Structures are given as structure tokens and as C-alpha cells.
Amino acid sequence: MDYLSDLHIDGTWRAGAGGATFPVLDPSDGSELARFAIATEADCLAAVEAADAAFDGWAATPPRVRGEVLRRAYEILTEEREIFAEIIVRENGKAFSDALGEADYAKEFFRWFSEEAVRIGGDFRLSPSGDKRIVVTRQPIGVSVLVTPWNFPAAMATRKIAPALAAGCTTVLKPARETPLTAAYIVGALERAGAPRGVVNLVTPVPTGPAVAAMIAHPAVRKLSFTGSTEVGRVLLHEAADTVVSASMELGGNAPFLVLEGADVDLAVEGALVAKMRNGGSACTAANRFYVHDSLHDEFAEKLAVALGRFTVGPGIDRANTLGALVSLEERDKVADLVTTAVAEGATVILGGERIGGGAFYPATVLVDVEHGSTINQTEIFGPVSALVRFSTVDEAVRMANDTIYGLIGYVFGREDEALRVALRVDAGMVAVNRGVLSDPAAPFGGTKQSGLGREGSSEGILEYLEEKYIGLAP
Ligand code: NAD
């Protein structure tokens, strides 16, 4: 397969100023897929300046025309669904079915925000004293720097680019080093869809930190939207503070999955398979801590282990495999080390638990006898490991679910009325009741506590890229 592997700056695909490249690896066997251009700091600043130069023109482009560019990009990604998914599989390692799911989810942000571009509202009213008309209009915030992770290399990029472009902002995308090929493909699709030069730029600096800091400090940059770990998010929030850049943060998670007394165990297992195994467990939304009522614990554990035991592990490119590789050997080793530590802290392995040779593979694993507060319980696992904790009262379950610095998502399985009451008590931006998947471009995605600031998708998503302006008029 031919990959786009250059920077995209001011409408031109080109090498970095230093001429250097870095390898992009297939995590299923470690082979080199491509060499991607390294952006120097000067390249990154050139991208910001190109976005700045394009800003006035794009902001003044009629919303319908902006929406049509996004709509065409959606159509291109729909026609090329298989190619799109294959690029994701090759560099990320996930199973083909997961990649197709991501490709479908990712392109929906282009369709959704093509429709939102023409619905940017405002307000017009008389002040309470009657001395003036209050006019409130919404304008694009400005040049936006978008930094994305490797686990959903397509969807995390389109979830930012689409609302930014719909709002009239111009962008610089900085994808993760592990997965730049998917990002370049999406930028290429937008170019083919008619995005004018400078509206979408792509840079891949190595090392990342100083170049991103330089972009944030550039006076033209007014927005930073980041998806990634809480650790890096904190660093970027400090950097954004120096120039008071508006920052949206989609950070880490540590999702609780509660199985309440009276829950339908088969439905809970079905939900767990998606909540845990979507993307091989490398998801910020992945169920990380299973809290299961004493009365259902053994049945749930047994049925979950049987269902997970059916996953076939191997290269994602082979469509028969339902569990692909983790993104790198380092990530695989992190997961393996967490399981070793869990066992040392008293957990029992009832499925999996051993590294598999070859690429970055790790099998579906189930641990029981896990303690609330243990290392695996308080760490984002990011792999196919289910760690089960018992509870006996709802209050205890809610207390443990909320006992974390994270608040992205929770899952509650139980009798509908009780599950809803518990969902309202879970401190998270999103709660799934009796279902294993929630993400939807039409719904607000985001977290509380250290899982983030702001929301993506839905009608809220575009507001992150708009600034309100109040104009007072004579009455
Ligand atoms: P990461 O934080 O290591 O990297 C994310 C991005 O930040 C990458 O592009 C990386 O190159 C860049 N980066 C790293 N250090 C930087 C620095 N000092 N300055 C600027 N940029 C820097 O995260 P990751 O390992 O790629 O992704 C996994 C994490 O992302 C998990 O914690 C996961 O929960 C989180 N995530 C969150 C969401 C969400 O919507 N809340 C979605 C997907 C992933």
C-alpha cells in the first residue's frame, strides 16, 4: 500500500526542513510500513503561520460551503472505507472489525459537523432596563492546534477537525508518532474534498514537547484541543496558561463497570465484551474496574471468562482475528507488568495472563480477587484485562466507583430504575446504563475531574471553537 508520509503545510506535501524521517511500524510483526517526515520547530511554526494566513478567508467562507467540504470528505471516507480501515490496522494493530468501526465512527464527525456548520446561533434581545439591544454573535476562535493520541488515530482527529472547520477555524494537526499515516490520509481526504490551502495543516515533530510548546506560544494560536493522557494534558494546560490559550482536554479514564444485584448477567457479559474489548481494551472509555455484587460475582466471572476465551488473537489484517496487537511492545509490556503486579497483590488469573510471542499481542485476561485500591484497579490498563472486585451494598459500589481522580465514563448494569439512580450518582461525564457502548457523534463526549475539560461531538462540540461577541445597539 502507498501511504502519504509527508508534512502538509500551506497546501503542500513536503519533507521536514531537516530532511529527517522516523519509522512507522506494524505492531503485529515490527516491520517498517513507511518512514514519515520529521517536522522541525520551524516547520511547525510555518504551519501555524499558514493557518493564520488562511484564517480570514475561511472564517468568511459561507457556512454552507464549509459544510459542503466536510460533507465531501465524509463521502470520500465512505467510498474508501476499506482502505481507511486498512491504514488504521497496519499502524495501530487493532482487529479489522475494530478498525472498520473506527472508520465509520470517524467519518460521522464530518457528516454531523457539516450539518452543524449552518446552525451556529446567536441572540438578539432588549436589555432589562430597555436602554439597548443586546446582540450576541458567535465567531470562530482562531488558529487551532489539535493534538491526538494513537489509540483512535482517525476518530480523535476528525472529532476535532470537523467542528473546527465547521466553526470557521483553521487548524494544525499533530498526531501521535505511532499513527501518523491515518492522520495524513484524513488530511489528504480533506484536501481532495476542497479544503483550501492552509486550512488543515499536518506536522509530526520529534521530539514533540518543545515544538508543541512553541506552537502554543505563537500569538496567532487561540485554541488548543488535546486528547491523550492526563499526565501530558496537565503539562499542556500549564503551557496554554502562559498565553491564555483556550484549552479543551479529553484525558485518561478509569471506568467503573457496576453489576448490581438483580442485573441480567448475560446482558452484563455482553456489555462487558464491548466495554472492555472494543479496540482491544486500548480505549479511554474501556471498562477498567469491574465491581460485581456478591450474589452474581461467580456467575459473571465464569461467563465472562468463557466469552473472552473465544477471542482469537493475531494480526488485525487477518479478518478472522478478533483481538489484534497492542500498539507497541512497550504497551504490551506495560499491560503484562500490571497483571504481574496484580497477582503479587493477591489477584487470581482465571483466563489468559501470559504474554504471547511474536508481535505486540496480549491475550484476553480475567482476574478475580482484585482489591479496590490495588495498583491495577487504580491504573488505566489500556489492554484486554478485566479485573473483578466484589461488593455487597450499592453505597459501597458507588463509593468505590467514584474513588478515582478520573471521571470519563461509567457503566451500570442492573434493574432499570435502580441502575438509573446509580448512574446519577456516578461522578463521570458519561454513564452507560445496561449497554456497553455510548460513543455517538450526536452526543456530548467528555469527562469530569481529571478526565478533561470541555465536550466533543454533539451541538456542544462546535462551541469549543467559537467565541461569543456581544454588541450593544441603540434600542
Ligand atoms: P499521550 O498523552 O502519551 O500522547 C497524546 C499526544 O500527545 C500524542 O500526539 C503525543 O505525541 C503528544 N505528546 C506527548 N507528550 C507531549 C508533550 N510534552 N507536549 C505536547 N504533546 C505531547 O497519550 P497516548 O499514549 O497517545 O494515548 C493514550 C491516552 O489517551 C490514554 O490516557 C487515553 O485514556 C487517552 N485518551 C483519551 C480520550 C478521551 O476522549 N478522553 C480518547 C482517547 C485516548
Q: Can you tell me the distance from the alpha carbon of 289 to that of 23, in angstroms, rounded to the nearest whole number?
A: 35
Which ligand 1 atom sits nearest the alpha carbon of residue 250? 41
Whether residue 212 has its Cβ less than 6 Å from ligand 1: yes
What predicted TM-score, i.e. pTM, was given to this entire model?
A: 0.97
Which ligand 1 atom sits nearest the alpha carbon of residue 233? 2
How close is the Cα of 251 to the center of ligand 1, in Å?
7
Whether 255-440 and 7-251+451-473 are alike in CATH topology: the answer is: no
Residue 340: which residues within 8 A CB-CB, separation 6 or more?
Answer: none
In the chain, domain spans: 7-251+451-473, 255-440
Kindly report each contact of residues 413-421 with a partner whose C-beta sits within 8 Å and lies 24 or more positions away, as own/partner: 413/257, 413/258, 413/259, 413/260, 413/263, 413/264, 413/267, 413/268, 413/271, 414/258, 414/259, 414/260, 414/261, 414/262, 414/263, 415/260, 415/262, 415/263, 418/260, 418/262, 418/394, 419/260, 419/263
Residue with the nearest Cα to atom 23 of ligand 1?
228
Ligand 1 pocket mutation, candidates 94, 227, 328, criterion most atoms within 8 A of CB: 227
Catalytic residue (choose from 250, 331, 380, 456): 250
In CATH terms, the fold of domain 7-251+451-473 is: Aldehyde Dehydrogenase; Chain A, domain 1 (3.40.605)
Whether residue 253 has its Cβ less than 6 Å from ligand 1: yes
The pLDDT profile of the chain, 475 residues, written as one tens digit per residue, is 899 999 999 999 999 999 999 999 999 999 999 999 999 999 999 999 999 999 999 999 999 999 999 999 999 999 999 999 999 999 999 999 999 999 999 999 999 999 999 999 999 999 999 999 999 999 999 999 999 999 999 999 999 999 999 999 999 999 999 999 999 999 999 999 999 999 999 999 999 999 999 999 999 999 999 999 999 999 999 999 999 999 999 999 999 999 999 999 999 999 999 999 999 999 999 999 999 999 999 999 999 999 999 999 999 999 999 999 999 999 999 999 999 999 999 999 999 999 987 899 999 999 999 999 999 999 999 999 999 999 999 999 999 999 999 999 999 999 999 999 999 999 999 999 999 999 999 999 999 999 999 999 999 999 999 999 999 999 9
Whether residue 288 has its Cβ less than 6 Å from ligand 1: no
Query: Residues 401-438, buried b or exposed e (16+ Cβ, 10 A)?
Result: bbebebbbbbbbbbeeeebeebbebbbbbbbbbbebeb
In CATH terms, the fold of domain 255-440 is: Aldehyde Dehydrogenase; Chain A, domain 2 (3.40.309)
Q: Can you tell me the distance from the alpha carbon of 261 to that of 267, in angstroms, rounded to the nearest whole number?
A: 13
Omega of the bond prior to 207 within 30 degrees of 0, cis? yes
Please confirm, yes or no, whether 91 is among the known catalytic residues.
no
How close is the Cα of 26 to the center of ligand 1, in Å?
19
